[in-house]
A = this chain, B = another copy of it.
Protein backbone atom coordinates (compact mmCIF):
# COMPACT_ATOMS: atom_id res chain seq x y z
CA UNK A 1 0.00 0.00 0.00
CA UNK A 2 2.79 2.37 0.86
CA UNK A 3 4.32 1.76 -2.53
CA UNK A 4 1.13 2.86 -4.24
CA UNK A 5 1.13 6.09 -2.32
CA UNK A 6 4.80 6.71 -3.09
CA UNK A 7 4.20 6.10 -6.78
CA UNK A 8 1.17 8.39 -6.75
CA UNK A 9 3.25 11.10 -5.10
CA UNK A 10 5.96 10.67 -7.74
CA UNK A 11 3.37 10.88 -10.53
CA UNK A 12 2.00 14.04 -8.92
CA UNK A 13 5.45 15.65 -8.79
CA UNK A 14 6.03 14.79 -12.44
CA UNK A 15 2.60 16.14 -13.39
CA UNK A 16 3.38 19.40 -11.60
CA UNK A 17 6.53 19.55 -13.73
CA UNK A 18 4.44 19.11 -16.89
CA UNK A 19 5.49 15.49 -17.38
CA UNK A 20 2.77 13.11 -18.51
CA UNK A 21 3.04 9.32 -18.29
CA UNK A 22 1.03 6.58 -19.94
CA UNK A 23 -0.97 4.22 -17.72
CA UNK A 24 1.59 1.53 -18.45
CA UNK A 25 4.46 3.77 -17.36
CA UNK A 26 2.63 4.66 -14.15
CA UNK A 27 2.35 0.95 -13.43
CA UNK A 28 6.06 0.39 -14.06
CA UNK A 29 7.53 3.12 -11.86
CA UNK A 30 10.62 1.69 -10.16
CA UNK A 31 11.16 2.50 -6.50
CA UNK A 32 14.87 1.98 -5.94
CA UNK A 33 15.69 1.51 -2.28
CA UNK A 34 19.08 -0.09 -2.85
CA UNK A 35 18.39 -2.81 -0.30
CA UNK A 36 18.85 -0.33 2.56
CA UNK A 37 15.24 -0.51 3.76
CA UNK A 38 15.03 3.23 4.21
CA UNK A 39 13.54 4.45 0.94
CA UNK A 40 12.60 7.88 2.27
CA UNK A 41 16.21 8.55 3.22
CA UNK A 42 18.16 6.75 0.49
CA UNK A 43 16.12 5.98 -2.57
CA UNK A 44 14.47 7.41 -5.66
CA UNK A 45 11.61 6.76 -8.03
CA UNK A 46 12.29 6.37 -11.73
CA UNK A 47 10.60 5.87 -15.05
CA UNK A 48 12.60 4.34 -17.90
CA UNK A 49 11.45 5.83 -21.19
CA UNK A 50 13.89 3.92 -23.39
CA UNK A 51 17.00 1.82 -22.78
CA UNK A 52 18.72 0.03 -25.64
CA UNK A 53 22.19 -0.76 -26.85
CA UNK A 54 22.75 2.85 -27.98
CA UNK A 55 21.09 5.26 -25.56
CA UNK A 56 18.84 5.55 -22.55
CA UNK A 57 16.43 8.16 -21.18
CA UNK A 58 14.76 8.18 -17.77
CA UNK A 59 12.85 10.48 -15.49
CA UNK A 60 14.05 10.51 -11.87
CA UNK A 61 11.99 11.73 -8.93
CA UNK A 62 13.44 12.41 -5.50
CA UNK A 63 11.35 13.55 -2.57
CA UNK A 64 12.57 16.37 -0.31
CA UNK A 65 15.96 15.50 1.11
CA UNK A 66 16.02 12.05 -0.44
CA UNK A 67 19.44 10.78 -1.52
CA UNK A 68 20.72 8.54 -4.31
CA UNK A 69 23.77 6.88 -2.73
CA UNK A 70 27.31 7.26 -4.07
CA UNK A 71 28.15 5.02 -7.00
CA UNK A 72 29.93 4.81 -10.33
CA UNK A 73 29.24 3.15 -13.67
CA UNK A 74 32.25 0.95 -14.46
CA UNK A 75 33.60 -0.12 -17.86
CA UNK A 76 31.87 -3.12 -19.40
CA UNK A 77 33.20 -5.80 -21.74
CA UNK A 78 30.75 -6.10 -24.63
CA UNK A 79 29.86 -9.28 -26.49
CA UNK A 80 31.61 -8.09 -29.65
CA UNK A 81 34.92 -7.73 -27.81
CA UNK A 82 34.81 -3.96 -27.47
CA UNK A 83 34.87 -2.22 -24.10
CA UNK A 84 32.14 0.22 -23.12
CA UNK A 85 33.91 2.84 -20.96
CA UNK A 86 30.93 2.87 -18.59
CA UNK A 87 27.67 4.74 -18.61
CA UNK A 88 27.89 8.45 -19.25
CA UNK A 89 24.88 10.42 -18.07
CA UNK A 90 23.49 13.93 -18.33
CA UNK A 91 21.19 15.10 -15.53
CA UNK A 92 18.79 17.90 -16.44
CA UNK A 93 16.77 19.38 -13.60
CA UNK A 94 13.11 19.84 -14.55
CA UNK A 95 11.62 20.90 -11.20
CA UNK A 96 12.75 21.52 -7.63
CA UNK A 97 16.46 21.40 -6.98
CA UNK A 98 19.15 18.78 -6.71
CA UNK A 99 22.55 18.84 -5.03
CA UNK A 100 24.91 16.71 -7.10
CA UNK A 101 28.35 15.60 -5.89
CA UNK A 102 31.15 14.35 -8.11
CA UNK A 103 34.88 13.76 -7.83
CA UNK A 104 36.87 16.99 -7.48
CA UNK A 105 37.53 19.85 -5.07
CA UNK A 106 35.17 20.03 -2.10
CA UNK A 107 34.77 18.59 1.38
CA UNK A 108 32.00 17.18 3.51
CA UNK A 109 31.90 20.21 5.77
CA UNK A 110 30.99 22.79 3.18
CA UNK A 111 28.13 21.29 1.20
CA UNK A 112 24.42 22.03 1.01
CA UNK A 113 23.33 18.39 1.24
CA UNK A 114 23.20 16.46 4.47
CA UNK A 115 25.07 13.17 4.27
CA UNK A 116 22.71 10.44 5.54
CA UNK A 117 23.45 9.98 9.22
CA UNK A 118 25.34 6.79 10.01
CA UNK A 119 26.42 6.37 6.38
CA UNK A 120 29.17 9.00 6.38
CA UNK A 121 31.84 6.43 5.49
CA UNK A 122 30.10 5.72 2.20
CA UNK A 123 30.02 9.28 0.90
CA UNK A 124 33.50 10.26 -0.28
CA UNK A 125 33.17 12.85 -3.09
CA UNK A 126 32.02 16.39 -2.41
CA UNK A 127 32.51 18.55 -5.47
CA UNK A 128 29.14 20.30 -5.44
CA UNK A 129 26.95 21.11 -8.44
CA UNK A 130 23.56 22.65 -7.67
CA UNK A 131 20.94 22.14 -10.37
CA UNK A 132 17.70 24.09 -10.59
CA UNK A 133 15.18 23.91 -13.46
CA UNK A 134 16.93 24.28 -16.81
CA UNK A 135 20.36 23.39 -15.43
CA UNK A 136 22.16 20.25 -16.50
CA UNK A 137 25.42 18.46 -15.83
CA UNK A 138 27.16 15.54 -17.56
CA UNK A 139 28.87 12.91 -15.41
CA UNK A 140 31.77 11.12 -17.14
CA UNK A 141 31.91 7.31 -17.17
CA UNK A 142 33.31 5.51 -14.12
CA UNK A 143 33.14 8.66 -11.95
CA UNK A 144 31.86 8.52 -8.38
CA UNK A 145 28.75 10.60 -7.80
CA UNK A 146 25.74 10.95 -5.52
CA UNK A 147 22.88 13.38 -5.30
CA UNK A 148 20.22 14.66 -2.93
CA UNK A 149 17.01 16.57 -3.56
CA UNK A 150 16.57 20.02 -2.08
CA UNK A 151 13.65 20.99 0.19
CA UNK A 152 11.06 20.88 -2.63
CA UNK A 153 12.19 17.51 -3.97
CA UNK A 154 13.44 17.19 -7.55
CA UNK A 155 12.39 15.92 -10.95
CA UNK A 156 15.44 15.18 -13.11
CA UNK A 157 15.62 13.97 -16.71
CA UNK A 158 18.51 11.60 -17.33
CA UNK A 159 19.94 11.26 -20.85
CA UNK A 160 22.67 8.63 -21.10
CA UNK A 161 24.44 5.85 -22.89
CA UNK A 162 23.12 2.33 -22.29
CA UNK A 163 22.00 1.77 -18.70
CA UNK A 164 23.09 -1.42 -16.92
CA UNK A 165 21.99 -0.68 -13.36
CA UNK A 166 22.91 -4.13 -12.12
CA UNK A 167 26.60 -3.38 -12.78
CA UNK A 168 26.71 -0.11 -10.81
CA UNK A 169 29.38 -0.06 -8.12
CA UNK A 170 28.22 1.52 -4.85
CA UNK A 171 30.57 2.80 -2.16
CA UNK A 172 28.29 1.43 0.57
CA UNK A 173 29.00 -2.33 0.70
CA UNK A 174 25.53 -3.02 2.11
CA UNK A 175 23.92 -1.89 -1.11
CA UNK A 176 22.51 -4.28 -3.61
CA UNK A 177 20.75 -2.81 -6.61
CA UNK A 178 17.28 -4.27 -6.42
CA UNK A 179 15.05 -5.40 -9.22
CA UNK A 180 12.22 -3.16 -10.35
CA UNK A 181 9.30 -3.06 -7.93
CA UNK A 182 5.93 -2.63 -9.54
CA UNK A 183 4.14 0.45 -8.23
**C-alpha gap A135/B22 in the complex (Å):** 7
B55 x A94 contact (CB < 8 A): no
Q: How many subunits of this chain does the assembly comprise?
A: 2
Q: Does A145 contact B (CB under 8 A)?
A: no
Binary B-proximity of A134-175 (CB < 8 A = 1, otherwise 0): 111010000000000000000001011100000000000000
Interface size on A, residues (CB 8 A): 28
* In the assembled complex, A133 has its CB within 8 A of some CB on chain B: yes
A41 at interface by CB-CB < 8 Å = no
Interface check A112, CB cutoff 8 A = no
Asked whether, in the complex, the Cβ of B57 is within 8 Å of the Cβ of A159, the reply is yes
CA–CA, A18 and B18, complex, Å: 5
Q: How far, in whole Å, are A88 and B57 apart by their CA atoms in the complex?
A: 13
- A20 vs B94: C-alpha distance when bound (angstroms): 7
- Taken together as a complex, chains A and B put the C-alpha atoms of A56 and B159 apart, in Å, by 8
In Å, the complex CA distance between A52 and B92 comes to 16
